[in-house]
Structure 1
Amino acid sequence: MTERIGFAGVGLMGHGMAKNLLEKGFPLTVLGHRKREAVEDLKARGATEAGSARELAEASDIVVLCVTGSPQVRAIVEGPDGLAAAGRKLLVIDCSTSEPSVTTALAASLAEHGITFIDAPLSRTPKEAWAGTLDVMVGGAEADVARARPVLEAFAGRIVETGPVGTGHMMKLLNNFVSLGYAALYAEALSLGAKAGVTAQTFFGVIGGGRMDCPFFQTFFEYVVGHNPEAHKFTLSNALKDLTYLSSFAGASATANPVNSAVRNSFALAVGLGHADGYVPTLADIIAQTNGLPPPR
């Protein structure tokens, strides 16, 4: 029997993920969203809509969350009309980028109510979400992950099991630390090069195709030299949130984390200057601006 899926968070990533669940034949209920375009599109494809998280739980066997972070997850799960209020046994798959310590605490508290909670954060972009080829890092007990796998396979091209609950979210923060660290390096390198007369095109020509090339480099420079504002749709505010989560973990575990501090400050500068909703590659423009330079092109 096909399990009924509930989905909360049909935004940039969630819209494509939910669309793929429908295409794979899962009965789907989506939580109402202030941005109606995605909800209406999914309803036209066969989804039904719930008016609250509690209604979503009542209509589902498995609920997928794809929201901004831990506060939003807790509100959906534990709020007065949240998933837990339905009093049903559920498997909740958190595909958000959340704080690992909150994830483990939430999993423990929900287990007392018969709700299984696992973390399955995502890597790649909305383009891959729509194509059903996301990377997923999943943390949870073996049996729970096995139950979740058919759902994850509907929108993922690669699934990596990371260990117990919370390790998926930790791995996601490490993944973002590395990628956003590269973004900060690219932005600074472009400004330093511009001061010496090295153009962004030259920088791209040397790094592109070499040992330091990678898909992240390509999407970053698809904006810088390709002038595509939609190339990498991940906001500066979300980047800062993830780096702050990692900084909190480093502080709580007394782990030296000087590079993350420097990377985080680059994104904090960008957000502090009013660019929270800009996408990550625009960091190159912001660092250039602070150095009295035009955007690198």
Structure 2
Amino acid sequence: MANEKVGFIGVGLMGYGMAKNILLGGYAVNVVMHRSRRSVDDLVSQGATEAKDLTALAHASDIIHICAPGSPQVEAIITAMMPELRRNTVIVDCSTSEPTSTERLASILEAKGCFLADAPLGGTPVQAEAGELSTMVGAPDNVFVRIKPVIDCWATSVVHLGPTGLGHKMKLLNNFLSLGYAALYSEAMAVGRKVGISVDQFDSVIRGSRMDCGFYQTFMGYAVDGNKEAHKFTLSNAYKDARYLANMADDASVSNPVGTAMKNSFAAAINMGGDGPEDYVPHLVDFIAKLNGMPPGKES
């Protein structure tokens, strides 16, 4: 069994599969109850230990993973654990967080003799359970060497970009592209339906062409096949990431007009009622259709 004891906070859609694969990698894993009693109980049945709270988990762990919705939650979790963090503890933030927050937390932890690495995720819950996620890591070289064997349990593609913060910066750029695709696809299909081209006809031309890609295929799983769970990433989280991207561009004094347009597409969906826990990114197609006076569906 591996020597490092791993804590895992946030065993939800992505975190459950990641924690399970860390267990399969031979690590002792501590988990804590947050939202899903079922996920915690299942992991405990596979050999994980349940900590009574965040401070108990911090006291019992050498490397702590966090999968949370965003920076406010990550900041609150780290603040709660701070009194019990032992020297040389590494916190691995797998959330999509705001880089300025990440860099600030890294400085606070460094003063305590601890470390923060950012390792945001690429992939889906299915890939998380299969141990086939990708990640882009920001961490000092010595910290990356230490955490990589654990990350290898849940990721097949691991890119070390450099110091802490770069992982979250790259993740926002990655999501700028993917969420930009979602906004483009939704708008293109709305225009198509208005001029007499059905969603199926649109897909018959794009699929397999140079415009096709993995994200297109998962996105269109809903638009074409009606699979509401084709890509389980909420519109609310997408809108949050779009705001973080805008903040990053503003901090760098970079003109980001396409990012602003993409953000506005998700803002429109949120304001039209797409802020529920089961309103996922591919559902954006329905909100853009509604914005243009059309009902959900595929026909022109």
The normalised TM-score by structure 1 is 0.97
The question of whether the paired residues in 2 share the 8 Å contact of 1:194 and 1:296 is answered with no
- Report what 1:19 is aligned to: 20
SS of the equivalent of 2:39 reads helix
Shift of 1:34: 2.3
Give the letter aligned to residue 63 of structure 1: I
Find out whether 1:94 has 2:101 as its counterpart. no
Shift of 1:287: 0.7
The question of whether the paired residues in 2 share the 8 Å contact of 1:137 and 1:168 is answered with yes
- Report what 1:47 is aligned to: 48
Deviations 1:4-47 (A, max 9, x none): 00000011100110111111111000011222111111111111
SS of the equivalent of 2:196 reads coil
- Report what 2:248 is aligned to: 249
SS of the equivalent of 2:293 reads coil
- Report what 1:145 is aligned to: 144
SS of the equivalent of 1:17 reads helix
Give the letter aligned to residue 193 of structure 2: A
Matched ranges for 1:165-180 at <5 A: 165-180=164-179
Give the letter aligned to residue 241 of structure 2: D
Quote the sequence identity (%): 51
Shift of 1:87: 4.1
The question of whether the paired residues in 2 share the 8 Å contact of 1:190 and 1:296 is answered with no
1: CA distance between counterparts of 2:101 and 2:85? Answer: 21
Shift of 1:61: 0.7
Give the letter aligned to residue 203 of structure 2: F
1: CA distance between counterparts of 2:229 and 2:156? Answer: 22
The question of whether the paired residues in 2 share the 8 Å contact of 1:31 and 1:53 is answered with yes
Matched ranges for 1:98-247 at <5 A: 98-247=97-246
SS of the equivalent of 1:183 reads helix
Root-mean-square deviation (CA), in Å?
0.9
- Report what 1:33 is aligned to: 34
SS of the equivalent of 1:232 reads coil
Shift of 1:240: 0.4
Say which is worse superposed, 257-266 or 48-57, in terms of deviation. 48-57
Give the letter aligned to residue 82 of structure 2: A
Say which is worse superposed, 287-296 or 56-65, in terms of deviation. 287-296
1: CA distance between counterparts of 2:162 and 2:52? Answer: 34
Deviations 1:166-209 (A, max 9, x none): 00000000000000000000000001000111011111111110
The normalised TM-score by structure 2 is 0.96
1: CA distance between counterparts of 2:121 and 2:67? Answer: 9
Structure 1: runs of 5+ lacking an equivalent: none
- Report what 1:77 is aligned to: 78
SS of the equivalent of 1:198 reads coil
